[in-house]
């Protein structure tokens, strides 16, 4: 079996996205299947065109299933319908608004709430806190809703509206996080805590804090990447929520394999990604890096063998 995965970011841009791909690849390898990866970085103006061309090529033969990471819940609906009409099942990370054969969904809202609660446990009641949002995509929007709910119901004082563009890191990478953090730190000089929505944004926030004289602001973030864990070890972050990216990839791999081996598979089946846990000063010494949980074998890029 050959499976096509349309990866939403270039390899090396975001460690979590890389680890999800490796988790999917590892699970499929265990079953004797082969994963082929096409990279369509979501900020590229031709990202959708890359996806459409790859799906069209897959329908011409040699691919047994397609995996998408859904950012826009409405795209690429027409091409997915065409692939499915030709007998190629389609699976997604996150659930789109069009019909697919199966989706893995994340407990984003819960993770956001728990992250905010962990931050509150390290701050005095009423502490002034800012939240940095991310790109306007499914999982980040759900996470942001959980963060706002958690902050607002944990006895903290939220000073900004992270749904506004000026308080979002829409690039999803470290330099963008630094830019937004600089803006927030300038506007709110009495901040006691911040919740950058992910680790890359948190690392950019640390850069901003350093540039502004090493201000003391408590931080939590999400993903559990190695550099974020190192920041916890160094006392620069209260914690990073490890979502177990390899297990996320493996969970969708299980869904794909089950579907392909079932005589009468269920359309639109859902699977739930792992909830994960906060990595903090109490447990950081027991943390195991993603590349030690599974082997990171080089991914096979492109549709051709």
Q: Which of the residue ranges 25-29, 41-45, 153-157, 161-165 would you say has the lowest mean pLDDT?
A: 41-45
Determine the Cα angle at 250 with ends 244 and 251, to 5°. Answer: 90
CA dist 76 and 73 (Å) reads 8
Confidence of residue 263 (pLDDT cuts 50, 70, 90): confident
- Tokens 């009641």 belong to 125
Query: What is the average pLDDT across 156-175?
Result: 97
CA dist 261 and 182 (Å) reads 51
Question: With pLDDT > 70 as the criterion, what percentage of the chain qualifies?
Answer: 99
Q: Are 144 and 134 in contact (CB under 8 A)?
A: yes
**Terminal CA-to-CA distance of the chain, rounded, Å?**
13
Q: Which residues, including other chains, have CB under 8 Å from residue 237's CB and lie 6 or more apart? A: 202, 206, 219, 220, 221, 228, 231
**What SS3 state is found at 223?**
strand
Query: What is the average pLDDT across 206-222?
Result: 95
37 φ/ψ angles, rounded to the nearest 5 degrees: -120, 130
Q: Does 197 have pLDDT greater than 90?
A: yes
Q: List the alpha helices (DSSP H) in 10-137.
A: 15-30, 47-59, 77-85, 108-121
Q: Does 304 have pLDDT greater than 80?
A: no
Q: Are 290 and 41 in contact (CB under 8 A)?
A: no
From the number of C-beta atoms within 10 Å of its C-beta (0-12, 13-18, 19+), residue 213 rates as exposed
Q: Does 294 have pLDDT greater than 70?
A: yes
Q: Which of the residue ranges 13-17, 37-41, 286-290 would you say has the lowest mean pLDDT?
A: 13-17
Q: Are 97 and 130 in contact (CB under 8 A)?
A: no
Question: Inter-axis angle of helices 15-30 and 245-261, to 10 degrees?
Answer: 40
CB atoms within 10 A of CB 59: 18
Domains located in the chain, CATH noted: 2-106+244-274+292-301 (3.40.50.2300), 108-242 (3.40.50.2300)
**What SS3 state is found at 303?**
coil
| Tens digit of each residue's pLDDT (9 = 90 or more) over 231-246 | 999 999 999 999 999 9
| Tens digit of each residue's pLDDT (9 = 90 or more) over 96-110 | 999 999 999 999 999
Is residue 206 within a helix (H) or strand (E), and if so which, with residue range?
A: helix 199-211
**Residue ranges with strand state E in 70-185:** 90-93, 102-105, 128-132, 157-158
Q: What does the pLDDT read at residue 248?
A: 98
């Amino acid at each position: 079996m050959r499976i096509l995965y349309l990866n939403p970011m270039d390899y090396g841009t975001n460690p979590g996205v890389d680890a999800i791909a490796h988790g999917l690849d590892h699970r499929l390898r265990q079953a004797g299947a082969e994963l082929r990866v096409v990279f369509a970085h979501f900020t590229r103006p031709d990202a959708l065109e890359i996806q459409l061309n790859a799906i069209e090529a897959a329908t011409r033969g040699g691919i047994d299933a397609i995996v998408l990471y859904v950012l826009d819940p409405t795209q690429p609906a027409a091409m997915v319908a065409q692939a499915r009409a030709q007998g190629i099942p389609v699976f997604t990370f996150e659930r789109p608004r069009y019909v697919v054969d199966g989706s893995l969904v994340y407990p984003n809202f819960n993770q956001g709430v728990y992250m905010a609660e962990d931050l509150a446990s390290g701050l005095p009641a009423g502490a002034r806190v800012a939240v940095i949002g991310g790109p306007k995509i499914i999982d980040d929007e759900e996470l942001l809703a959980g963060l706002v709910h958690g902050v607002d119901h944990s006895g903290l004082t939220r000073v900004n509206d992270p749904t506004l563009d000026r308080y979002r890191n829409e690039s999803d990478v470290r330099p963008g996080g630094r830019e937004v953090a600089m803006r927030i730190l300038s506007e709110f000089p009495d901040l006691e805590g911040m919740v950058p929505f992910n680790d890359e944004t948190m690392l950019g926030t640390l850069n901003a804090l350093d540039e502004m004289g090493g201000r003391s602001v408590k931080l939590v973030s999400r993903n559990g990447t190695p550099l974020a864990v190192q920041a916890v070890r160094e006392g620069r972050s209260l914690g990073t929520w490890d979502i177990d990216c390899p297990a996320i990839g493996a969970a969708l791999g299980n869904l794909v394999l089950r579907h392909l081996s079932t005589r009468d598979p269920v359309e639109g089946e859902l699977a739930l990604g792992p909830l994960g846990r906060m990595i903090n000063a109490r447990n950081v010494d027991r943390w195991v890096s993603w590349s030690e949980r599974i082997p990171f074998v080089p991914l096979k890029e492109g549709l051709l063998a």
